[in-house]
Structure 1
Amino acid sequence: MKLFKCALLGGAMLLPSAAFADELNLICSADVVICEKLVSEFEASHSDIDVNMVRLSSGEAFAKVRAEARNPQTDLWWGGTGDPHLQAGQDGLSAEYKSPMLDELQDWAKGQAEVSNYHTVGVYSGALGWGYNIDLFKEKGIEAPKCWADLLDPALKGEIQIADPNSSGTAYTTLATLVQLMGEDEAFDFLKKMHANVSQYTKSGSAPVKAAARGETGLGIVFQHDAVAQAVAGFPVGVVAPCEGTGYEIGSMSLIEGAQNPEAAKTFYDWVLTAEVQNMMPDAGSFQIPSNASATPPKEAPDLSTIKLIDYDFAEYGSAERRKALLSRWDDEVGSMPLQ
């Protein structure tokens, strides 16, 4: 119900002068331009709801939701990799919600809802890979890596950036992908060897390829659509899908348990799953595959049917126990190593 501010003048009640809008407290775990596009379009079509948005990486968003469990300050969490969303559901931090839009979604988006007992849902998808600076590699005489194994090439010393998997869903997906491709011990051996070529572990998952686009580093391990976004923006970025195979994300959305504004959250939740809204995303530089089956994938988006994708186990690697164990091991064996 909309409340109104009223004023008294000389004992007479004046007509309502302004409306108190409903609020929506939103965490957005995508690029800030995409987040701002969603907020502006939603507020334009829902003038009775004011959105308070904060942009956080997936790991940061999960940490915030967990820290506020007893007194939630967030109503809805949109975007970011599905693993922490699945963990939030498992930990009782997100609420069960079956959107009336479910029947319009791709099977993989509905599958994300089903595996979480409807505590989250898929909103987009994209494959893992990397983007590299074509001009910088040519200048330095470095051959562009085509496979995960190529990232250990000594010629790439100091040329690789990847995010920290504690803060970044992109980096956690990389960690989980390598474990599934190679086996856990072999994956950590690979990461420790690749560490010699890493110049920085960033907070944001998309930051490495933005640095590569600007020539601040040679290569960023990211979701391929983030590399495509830089190429579309005019930067000399080449996009690679690793030859051995690669993981992928199901970007997800969760309604927070105990939300202060659940009805406003559900309104946004249903709205953002429509084909009309998802078709607007390329205007904000978003080149993921949309979850609504009637939405049109951006022509620049990587074609997942041409990429060798692993059978990524979202249930296992989105579980609290598995995720915590992998992050702890990464901290002990990789994150503790000094950068050279």
Structure 2
Amino acid sequence: MKAIQIHQFMVLPSSLQDDGKVDALLSFNNDVPKPTFLKQNQMLVRVLACSLSPGDVLGAQGNMIFMHQPFPFIPGMDICGEIVDSNSSSNFKNNDVVVASNGLHPIGGMAEFMVIDEGEAVILPQGVSKEQGAASSSAVTAHNAVMDYVKEGDRVLILGGSGGVGSAAIQIAKTHAKASFVVATSTQIDMCEELGADQVINYNDVDWWMVEKYQQKKFDVIIDTVGGGNYYGRAEKVLKTGQQGGTFVAVAGDDPQPDCRTVWKVMKFFSNMLVNVIYTKVNTRTLPNYVPLWPYNLAKGRKTVLGWMGEGSLTINLDSDPLPFTVAGIREAFIKVSSHHAHGKVVVKVAE
């Protein structure tokens, strides 16, 4: 089968003009063995579209030791595909078009065929494109961030409103969580307003934590999809304390490009987050609650999100037209995601 393969961990450049190193580490192979062995509750799908997320970038860079794969490996976790072998499933049949994820194993989607777990698959609703289905993974993250922490009537600030998670979070907070007031930070003012943001802060012009009216009337929830920048340390200026119900949801974490290449670094990374959680719980009178968003219940969230997409109450913003299934297309996809300047989800069209 045809597949994109990564031959060693990449140091991704910040722009498409500096792409030579990426090309040297990626290859398009026409003769990769097609998966043939299926375990119980696994299915084989023909991949139609694959979206890239920050998790794919971390896997390609080798930043997470628990995501390491033998070289060469096929990148891509989130896909939409057509089942070609349902493996005697009682829930799916051959030719069903499904949306699925490969979890924290960054392997498989940038190929003609991919093995998926039955429990990760959800039927693509009528009226939703294959590319939109493949791009729905960030909306699942947004679903967990919003629906678990935003209550009806809350005032919400979303950091990074034009990204994959942020653009979905704006819509979910406004339409499904019934937030009374939603503010987003982004340079894409019109886009965020069209998605439902009541106000948009251009972070190139204004520091959101210095806006006087927000200091006077604080937010109930801040959802950080950007990471870095000591945003939690600045949030208390415009976010209620934990005792008042204020919650800072860290989707991206304090470091959007964490180095967890050793067991020690993994332990240090997670212990730092745990310290933040405990410290803010002890100091709820003066500090907002700090909540790291752990990945969980992804299949249930995927089903809910795709249902909203099918009924038209959630739209997935794509950064551009789907990119081609070529080395150049995959290179552009990785660089766009790693640069943190994608305005929506980055999707590769693998097949018709």
Larger Rg: 1
**Structure with larger RCO (C-alpha < 8 A, sep 6+):** 1
TM-score, shorter chain, exceeding 0.5: no
TM-score, normalisation: structure 1: 0.29
Q: Which structure shows the bigger proportion of residues in helix conformation?
A: 1
